[in-house]
A and B are shown apart, each in its own frame.
Chain A
Amino acid sequence: MSLLEVEGLDAGYGPVTVVRDAAFSVDEGKVMTILGANGAGKTTTLRALSGVVRASGSIRFDGQDIAGSSPEAIVRLGIAHVPEGRGNFASLTVEENLRLGAYVRKDAKAVREDMERCYEHFPRLRERSEQAAGNLSGGEQQMLSIARGLMLRPRLILLDEPSHGLSPLITREVFKILETVAREEGTTLLIVEQNANLVLGFADHAYVLETGRVVLDGSAEEIANDEGVRRSYLGMA
């Protein structure tokens, strides 16, 4: 059984339905990516999974139906959502942001160890631990938001455009750390990314979303070699 199984998912904002009848699944310990053009419903899909937007249909996480649950309840099951635009607490310090990532955890000692681990992954954050998050550079803010997600010690982490606004160098650095997390800690990753080249080289499996529907589904390798995908998302003829 997959860790996450989605069937017949409709999601949207108020009267507007953005995602229609989407179906996909994510296996535990794997890296999954959802590709698609702007407006295809990638972000909305992640928001439906974390309970931020209206969702109907079936979302089963570890066998439990979470469609329609509140974000506060879903995070307690071990799903971390690192939103687009990073979602940091700008007026709070870096360290406070990390502590908030572990807000629902009760194991104070392990939280401190995880904080240490985050600082090892992202030494820049340690240097700036007492600074307000709003004063960090764009790359540092992105690292902070990913680190905040990891502080939950999640079973599944939803990442929305982790490379957004980052230089190629920092992007590679961030993806290297994500790879470490996935391989060494067995965390399941679901990544939405514009940079298809980058993410297909790293994911196990990929889905292609078009106007709210899953139109293609396969191993990352198959998807990367698909003619249509190459033309539309990889910029190759």
Chain B
Amino acid sequence: MERFIQLLIDGVAIGSVYGALALSLVLIFRSTGIVNFAQGEMAMFSTFIAWALAEAGLTLGLALLGALAISFAGGMLIQRLVIRPVEGEDPLTILIVTLGLFILVNSLAGWIWGFNNRAFPQALPGGNADIGGVSLAYESLGIVAVLLVVVGLLFALFERTKIGLAMRAAAANPASSRLVGISVGRTLMLGWGLAALIGAIAGALVAPQLFLDVNFMGGVLVYSFAAATLGGFDSPKGAVIGGWIIGVAETLAGDYIGFIGSDLTILVPLVIILGVLLVRPNGLFGSPEVVRA
């Protein structure tokens, strides 16, 4: 039982990372209908920035904050320079552009920082907490806590502020948004900035457990796609809960189903994606369009 609870918490922790990256995917999909395949690579790049700032002598906290700020600005810049010119083009064109962005960001990181593995410092405390006889890693608990704070802040932004209302309005009806005076271009830039920032948090949370290299977010992106698909691609709540379910399923399957072990865990998200698309294409919390004529 103790082992089971530990696995559960570890699963929720890694699931929180998937949930965070899935949140970035959902933020962009909701506002523009674009699935950003480059989201993982953007997060990888952000993590490298944090690493480079720390290497340059900044304390880890400052390096992380700096990376978040740069990611936010970078996300807005990417929207303005790369995405806006193809806005309104057909979905395939935009898909190819985000794939191009994937390759571009990946190569750029390799060109700047090389292709070697690097250890990424852990910002969360080490050691274990003893809760009711079960020993849980502070790291796992910390990751979950970070995600919950991010979700709380996002909720406050979208539900309690005027700019958040404007972002939701621009996602719901861009034409009417302009008629009430919302600069839709600016809200889209902001959405990409936020997505990049949340991706950076996902990268910095998972990097200490993996090694930092130019491809380290590739696997995470697949799990995040599974999380977003499972939760519903337009539902932030779904992204988080989907992430947790995927994380737990992956961890438990790796431990309890013999042939999966640690090599075949990638099967878990793929099976889940396939299953969701067959049974419930809108995901658990996704909305089919409901409009009364």
Contact = CB atoms under 8 A, between A and B. Distances in A.
B291 interface: yes
A72 B177 CA distance: 9
B178 A70 contact: yes
How many B residues are at the interface, by size bracket?
20 to 34
A72 B293 CA distance: 27
Given A52-B178, A76-B181, A87-B175, A100 B292 contact: no
A40 B189 CA distance: 38
A19 B199 CA distance: 48
Given A90-B291, A134-B290, A100 B175 contact: no
Interface in B162-192: 162, 165-166, 168-169, 172-173, 175-183
Interface string A71-112: 110011000110100011111100010011101100000000
Contacts of B183: 72
Contact of B178 (A71, A89, A148): A71
B183 to A, nearest CB: 5
A186 interface: no
Given A90-B172, A92-B172, A99-B165, A104 B292 contact: no
A87 B176 contact: yes
A3 B182 CA distance: 25
Residue from A75, A100, A132 whose CB has the most chain B CB atoms within 10 Å: A100
A138 interface: yes
Nearest to B184: A72
Contacts of A71: 178-179, 181
Interface in B251-293: 287, 290-293
Contacts of B181: 71-72, 75-76, 103-104
Interface in A49-67: 50, 52
Interface string A172-212: 00000000000000000000000000000000000000000
Given A100-B165, A135-B290, A137-B292, A88 B176 contact: yes
B292 A89 contact: no
How many A residues are at the interface, by size bracket?
20 to 34
Contacts of B176: 83, 87-89
A43 to B, nearest CB: 13
A136 interface: yes
B180 A90 contact: no
Nearest to A102: B180
A222 B217 CA distance: 73
A91 B286 CA distance: 13
Nearest to B182: A103
A50 B179 contact: yes
Nearest to B178: A71
Given A99-B165, A135-B292, A138-B293, A83 B172 contact: no
Given A96-B165, A99-B165, A134-B292, A89 B179 contact: no
A92 B179 contact: no
A134 B291 contact: yes
A182 to B, nearest CB: 21
21 contacts: A52-B179, A75-B181, A76-B181, A80-B179, A81-B179, A83-B175, A88-B176, A89-B168, A89-B172, A90-B290, A92-B168, A92-B172, A96-B169, A100-B165, A100-B169, A100-B177, A103-B182, A135-B290, A137-B292, A138-B292, A138-B293
Interface of B: 162, 165-166, 168-169, 172-173, 175-183, 287, 290-293
Given A83-B179, A87-B176, A96-B169, 18 more contacts: A50-B179, A52-B179, A71-B178, A72-B178, A75-B179, A75-B180, A76-B181, A81-B179, A83-B176, A89-B169, A90-B172, A96-B168, A100-B165, A100-B182, A103-B182, A104-B180, A132-B290, A148-B180
* A-B pairs, 6 with minimum CB distance: A104-B181, A87-B176, A71-B178, A75-B181, A134-B291, A89-B172
Interface of A: 50, 52, 70-72, 75-76, 80-81, 83, 87-92, 96, 99-101, 103-104, 132, 134-138, 141, 148, 152
